[in-house]
Structure 1
Amino acid sequence: MAATVSERVRTRRDNLRAAGLRPIQIWVPDTRRPGFAEECARQSEVIRQNAAVEKEDMDFMEKLIEDEWE
């Protein structure tokens, strides 16, 4: 007779535990939630706006390092 779904799941989990693994639960953003795409766009824009400032900062620090090594 074929194993039930719960028996197959139990066997699979037992095998994974025997391999040294353990189950964990991970919560991720709900991409179906209203406003999700808009929030992604907003955060992307913030990153885009800050990228130029960060590049200027990195260029400045690299110049300082170059001057120090010369």
Structure 2
Amino acid sequence: MRAYRARLRAAGLRPVQIWVPDVRAPNFVEEARRQSLRASRHPSEKNAIDFIEAVAELDDDAS
């Protein structure tokens, strides 16, 4: 692993650690729903939500 990382660094890359929500956590679904409902009700999110819905509809047409 050390040699692999050294080769990547020599190629100009660097490691990045990303933390994401644990979808297996007991309260994940409840918290995701709470946050999405809160965002959907906020006027500043209207454009983003409209875009997401439009893209979702395009994906439905592909199947």
What amino acid does structure 2 have at the position aligned with 1:13?
Answer: R
Ranges in structure 1 where 5+ consecutive residues have no aligned partner: 1-8, 56-70
Q: What is the aligned partner in structure 2 of residue 37 from structure 1?
A: 29
Bigger radius of gyration: 1
For 1:45 and 1:12, the matched residues in 2 are separated by 44
1:24 positional shift: 2.7
Runs (4+) off by over 2 Å: none
Alignment: residue pair count: 45
Identity %: 56
1:40-51 matches, within 5 Å, as: 40-50=32-42
1:22 aligns with 2:20: no
Alpha-carbon RMSD: 1.6
TM-score (normalised: structure 1): 0.53
Higher RCO structure, 1 or 2 (CA under 8 Å, sep 6+):
2
Q: What is the aligned partner in structure 1 of residue 50 from structure 2?
A: none
